[in-house]
Amino acid sequence: MSKFSQGQRFRTKDSALAYYINQLENFDPKLYEPLTSVSWGRDIKLRTGITMSNESTSYIRSAFAGGGSLSNPATASSGGNMPWISAETTAIEGVSVNGEKIATPLRLLGREISYTSVELERSQLTGQPIDTQKLSAMNTLYQMNTDQMVYIGSSDVVVTGLFNDASVTTGTVANGIAGTPAWTTKTPDEILADVNTLVESAWSASAFAVCPSELRLPPFQFSYIASQKVSSAGNVSILKFLEENSISLKINGKALNIQPVKWLTGRGAGSTDRMVAYTNEEDRVRFTMVPIRRETAYYQGIRYIAPYIWAFGGIELVYPETVQYADGI
């Protein structure tokens, strides 16, 4: 413990002037907030046109059928099933359309910031106004809440997210030559095979209409492929190797966008790590919410109170077949 307590005075040998310890401090007025990480704004599109007056959001997923309808080319056993007619026909095949309405409730959330006029004045003397501190803290919490809702939802209201929806097909990556599925034990070619298998699975499930353009990995696996070279003879990382050799590049004309997300660690079956392939477009998958806004502020005596509200719906997997999970990496 220092021999000088805070506020204690001491004298120099050559001066009669007295100083306080805190007068000799080099005080840094910057407030260092807790470290946080959010990435939802990069990974999902918001559904447009939603307002606070809406109680829910919905859309219709349709399906069509008819005699002579085409089959999924990935599963068709032959090239038959055409609606042939003759010149004398009196009966022509019809088409039926079925629609399924998918609705998601919008749930309100809110926080408030409050402080007294005395607290504000005293905090301003320190260069750290309490109103600024509390507003910054609330915005950070809002971003963290949104991040969680986008990726894994909330068990409080039984809502899932982009990385744990039950309607998404989940696979398990194959063991490598080392006998395990973990990427840290696999060769670059084996890792590429895992990625292409996942991407191809989603592409096939969409009748080859949509090839995923996004791949999300747990941070440690992303760090591994970004730092490991394909071979000691070159300087190409496994990450670059995957971007340049994924089938996504050949189909979409642009490299597979590979990014790390903390929510994938332990997200798979048996708490294994999961990777996710999907297409980040509003008409494929999106998130429903009403962004935060401030309501009318008011005073209770000398206390200033400012309420803030927002609304969360959830992930809308308009085409769940365009999203695929693979566990065990």
The mean of the pLDDT values for the chain is: 89
pLDDT of residue 22 exceeding 80, the answer is no
pLDDT of residue 292 exceeding 90, the answer is yes
Average pLDDT of the residues in 151-176: 96
**Which residue, chain included where needed, has tokens 């995957």?**
242
pLDDT of residue 67: 63
**Percentage of the chain surpassing pLDDT 90?**
72
pLDDT of residue 21 exceeding 70, the answer is no
pLDDT of residue 63: 81
pLDDT tens for each residue of 257-282: 999 999 999 999 999 999 999 999 99
pLDDT of residue 81: 72
Query: Which segment of 10-19, 81-90, 225-234 scores lowest on mean pLDDT?
Result: 10-19
26 vs 252, higher pLDDT: 252
Average pLDDT of the residues in 249-260: 96
pTM: 0.86
pLDDT of residue 291: 97
Average pLDDT of the residues in 139-164: 97
Average pLDDT of the residues in 145-152: 98
pLDDT of residue 149: 98
**Residues sharing a CB contact under 8 Å with residue 215, sequence separation 6 or more, in sequence order:** 195, 198, 199, 242, 246, 248, 256, 257, 258, 259, 275, 276, 277
CB 37 within 8 A of CB 143: no
Single out the residue of 234, 280, 284, 236 nearest to residue 261, CA to CA: 280
pLDDT of residue 251: 96
pLDDT tens for each residue of 62-73: 887 766 555 555
pLDDT of residue 175: 97
pLDDT of residue 181: 97
pLDDT of residue 80: 65
pLDDT tens for each residue of 174-192: 999 999 999 999 999 999 9
Average pLDDT of the residues in 244-252: 95
pLDDT of residue 11: 52
User: How many whole angstroms separate alpha carbon 171 and alpha carbon 168?
Assistant: 10
198-to-16, 118, 132, 215, 308 alpha-carbon distances in Å? 78, 59, 46, 9, 41
CA 142 from chain center: how many Å? Answer: 14
User: What is the β-pairing status of strands 324-327 and 169-172?
Assistant: parallel
pLDDT of residue 324 exceeding 90, the answer is yes
Average pLDDT of the residues in 19-31: 74
pLDDT of residue 107: 97
Hey, what CATH class is 171-287+319-327 in?
Answer: alpha beta
pLDDT tens for each residue of 191-215: 999 999 999 999 999 999 999 999 9
pLDDT tens for each residue of 29-52: 777 888 899 999 999 999 999 999
pLDDT of residue 16: 54
